[in-house]
Amino acid sequence: MTASTQPATAAQELYENSAAIYDRHNKDTTTTIARFMLALAPQPDNDSVILDNACGTGALTFSLLGTFQTTHQSGRGPPSVHAVDIAPAMVDAVIRKSETLNVPEGVVQTAAMDAQNLSFADDTFTHSYMNFGIFFLPDATRAAAEIHRTLKPGGAAFISTWQTLGYLDLLRASQRIVRPRDTDEDLFRPMYSEKWFTEDKLRNTLIAGGFEDHHITVQAKSTALVGSDLDGLVGTILLPFGNKIDGWSQEERMRLRDVIKEGLTEEEQRRCSVDMVAFVAVAVK
């Protein structure tokens, strides 16, 4: 297949530039959902061929390999995993982690690849995972069709999106306090349509990609955005929006951080975390 001609998205540029700090800001959140997805049926076994699509720094890939190190069925090796992401810096991070963890050569195969234009042959994978990636894509339906095309008959896709981002209302309220003259209501919006906060958007995208409705199940799973301390939590919240406040003065930026901290509930301050809820879909081909 030919390479995608889609221009780099804002999300791609963000994660290409932030790969070095991605784990610090997202590891707990994405890993919780990755482990939940891996526990859903049909679970992979030693003979599975698995795609970690829009893999980021490999939260799902390494959670999967950790599971097989724990269970270690009949002395056989782990399944084959293909970890791909459009951001080369993310792919490089997966390669470095594989080396650090002494993952056997050939177990994790990596490539910089557009999820909207996968280079794999039809009917390749038994399991295809995309953990918080599909809503960033310019053409999510095309990505769903590529997932469907590359799954073996009877294979399963596992796709996660967000139902609730617990920090959005807090960010917008903080903006109104710090810059009451600022009328840009889009300043603190995700880099994707908020239609993705509905189950229908996820389900309908998968149906448009070729999956049959009666072969799709969607459930909600709670997680949290966690910081090492309150400053770390605020930094985590602001990471996707850093370029949105480039025109703010240093005083306004510091004030924003303080107002966000003040706006957290006592429980959120104690836990240094904000609650989040994900949708997780399982779609069988």
Q: What is the mean pLDDT of each run of 10 residues along the chain (285 residues)?
A: 40 56 66 95 95 94 86 67 94 94 92 97 98 94 98 98 94 92 77 93 98 98 92 88 86 96 97 96 98
Q: What is the DSSP letter of 227?
A: -
pLDDT, residue 1, reads 29
Burial of residue 98 (number of CB atoms within 10 Å: 0-12, 13-18, 19+):
buried
Best CA proximity match to 78, nearest among 89, 92, 68, 66: 68
For the chain, domain boundaries: 10-166+191-226+273-284
Quote the distance between the C-alpha of residue 268 and its chain's center.
23
Q: What contacts 233, CB < 8 A, 6 or more positions away?
A: 225, 226, 227, 264, 272, 273, 274
**260, 166 Cβ separation under 8 angstroms:** no
* pTM of full prediction above 0.75: yes
pLDDT at residue 2, as a whole number? 29
Rg (CA), the chain: 19
- Report how far residue 175's alpha carbon sits from residue 180's, in angstroms, rounded to the nearest whole number: 7
Q: What are the residue ranges of helices labelled H in the chain?
A: 10-17, 19-39, 59-71, 88-100, 140-150, 168-178, 199-208, 230-238, 250-263, 266-271
Largest CA distance in the chain: 65
Q: In CATH, what is the architecture of 10-166+191-226+273-284?
A: 3-Layer(aba) Sandwich (3.40)
What is the pLDDT at residue 15? 56
Predicted pLDDT of residue 236: 86
Looking at residue 6, its pLDDT comes to 41
